[in-house]
């Protein structure tokens, strides 16, 4: 599975509320798996807390290779909550494994962090953030 196919499957699953598939996209050493060690635990959490969020649109703006097994993908994501759209920006770290590409973690920026046009955000906006928290 290529990195692009992984992202397509992941966002299709998010849009469909298929949280078991979302769980399966994570790398085994991701901070997420450290928090949700079982698929069932995450699916219960997601159904209770994330079902009201709709993925309206998403796009990969750019990609950079960190090494031969790691890439960062710069994404813009439009979500809708209670009919209100919000844009989020994500710098997703993907890792190539024996089973294909997996989602490791991401640094996220919201509208309060970047207020410019969605298609003009770039890697430097993430590089300049002093506290690089990855989820």
pLDDT digits (tens, 9 = 90+) for 72-108: 999 999 999 998 998 899 999 999 999 999 999 999 9
Assigned domain for 134 exists: no
Residue 116 structure tokens: 């410019």
Number of structural domains, the chain? Answer: 1
What stretch of H or E contains 92?
strand 84-97
Assigned domain for 66 exists: yes
Report DSSP state, residue 2.
Answer: -
Q: Within 13 A of 42's CA, how many CA atoms are on the CB side?
A: 18
Q: If you write DSSP's letter for every residue of 31-60 in order, what string do you get?
A: HHHHH--SHHHHHHHHHHHTTTEEEEEEEE
Mean pLDDT for the stretch of residues 102-121 = 90
Is it the case that residue 130 has pLDDT exceeding 90? no
CATH number for the domain that contains residue 100: 3.10.450.50
Assigned domain for 70 exists: yes
């Amino acid at each position: 599975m290529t990195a692009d196919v992984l992202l397509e499957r992941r966002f299709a699953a998010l849009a469909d509320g298929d949280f078991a598939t979302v769980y399966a996209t994570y790398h085994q050493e991701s901070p997420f798996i450290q928090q949700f060690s079982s698929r069932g635990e995450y699916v219960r959490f997601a159904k209770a807390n994330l079902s009201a969020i709709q993925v309206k649109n998403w796009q990969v703006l750019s990609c950079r290779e960190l090494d031969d097994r790691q890439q960062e993908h710069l994404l813009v994501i439009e979500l809708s909550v209670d009919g209100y759209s919000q844009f989020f920006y994500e710098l997703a770290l993907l890792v190539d494994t024996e089973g294909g590409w997996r989602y490791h973690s991401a640094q996220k920026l919201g509208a309060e962090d970047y207020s410019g046009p969605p298609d003009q955000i770039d890697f430097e906006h993430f590089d300049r953030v002093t506290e690089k928290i990855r989820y």
